[in-house]
Structure 1
């Protein structure tokens, strides 16, 4: 898999990234992304505001995009410091186990270094034993927490 690469997503990659995100949601038994995800990602990644999100893609030698990782700097009140929050890391099922996951994580580490951040944090479902084994092999440590979401209704 040495000829595969991980690089920053380009605007022309976003339709495929949106497809991969839909695969990711299905894998996690979650609600699929709403239509127009590629357009929303384009705004977050490429402006006109300063980029809020970063997206890395795993590309095979034949040019196919088979995975992605997204991240953004976040804050830890307890540490009084910023860290890199990895929101998603996903590889298509057929491409798992080929060494692309470590390439994506290495690229995330480099993103953190470039931003002057010393830690990456993320979450994974407790049932995702394959991901847990992968992260454990990387030397990552976990914390037991539950993730909550609370919808906010727009003001009229």
Structure 2
């Protein structure tokens, strides 16, 4: 392989691959797969308005193959009375973990927060994902123990 690993903003043409990675991510986290049409829904969130709400970064292995992604969006903290950057997803394919792409993705997410004038990034990971917890601990992140709930809203 030639080249060096890198992280960049996703482009429209990357979205089918990002949707495929999201399906692998869901499988890894023992969740239901994304509904069909994810690439189109992501395109609307990433490129559908002059100021898109969602940001997506892709990790490229040497040679240019997209092997991971991270998504993030600003959110509000009532207690703090300010915005923070919520990292919704960070995923690397199993064969590309431990090669330095995770720290590159995290650095890019932190740079997104800085670009937006935000001073904190928050995220969550399943409690059973010990590898991710060790990775985040090595970065100096602090754990916050909470339960995450989801309530479907009838359409």
Q: Would you call these one fold, judging by a TM-score over 0.5?
A: yes
Q: Which shifted more, 43-52 or 97-106?
A: 43-52
Q: Structure 2: 5+ residue runs without aligned partners?
A: none
Counterpart of 2:72 in structure 1 is 71
What is the CA deviation profile of residues 37-88 of structure 1, one whole-angstrom value per residue up to 9, with x for unaligned ones?
0000000000146311000000122110000000000000000010000000
Paired residue total: 154
Which residues in structure 2 correspond to 1:4-153 (within 5 Å)? 4-48=5-49, 50-153=51-154
TM-score using structure 1 length: 0.96
**C-alpha RMSD of the superposition:** 1.3
TM-score using structure 2 length: 0.97
Moved over 2 A (4+): none
